[in-house]
Amino acid sequence: MTQQPIRRHISSGSEFERTYSYSRAIVLGNHIYVSGTTGYDYSTGNLPDGAHDQTVQLFRNVESALMQAGATLKNVIRVRMYIARPEDYETIMQVFASTFAGIDPTCTTVQAGLFDPAIRIEMDMDAAVDAGA
């Protein structure tokens, strides 16, 4: 019988994770799956104004989860991006491009109605680490 990889849950401490029973990320073997993440500052519960500041905070949130999983943004291989307002696209993509310069993960971007009209951007990501490292 093949041994299954250990599943490890990562939490940001977000009230959303506790209320709705999900993990910020899950580590399974050498794969890391990051849940849909927004620009909320989970330590304060505040959502910054504007697409730029929300995107910057979103990446801080993802970096924190990846760090707990033993990875960094350099390990991200796939991003799915949900933009609430098409007029925010260029602003969000400028932050994305500066964050992922040289990493160049695959990316899918869609316009989507998000559950809170104040949220401008949400992303989920997949990462992989070298299992032999």
In tens digits, what is the pLDDT along the chain, a chain of 133 residues? 677 778 888 888 878 878 888 888 999 999 999 999 999 998 898 999 999 999 999 999 999 999 999 999 999 999 999 999 999 999 999 999 999 999 999 999 999 999 999 999 999 999 999 855 4
Q: Can you give the three-state secondary structure of the chain, one letter per residue?
A: CCCCCCEEEECCCCHHHHHHCCCCEEEECCEEEEEEECCCECCCCECCCCHHHHHHHHHHHHHHHHHHCCCCHHHEEEEEEEECCHHHHHHHHHHHHHHCCCCCCEEEEEECCCCCCCCCEEEEEEEECCCCC
What is the per-residue pLDDT for 133?
47
Pick the CATH number of 7-128 from 3.40.50.620, 3.40.33.10, 3.40.50.10320, 3.30.1330.40: 3.30.1330.40
**This prediction's pTM:** 0.90
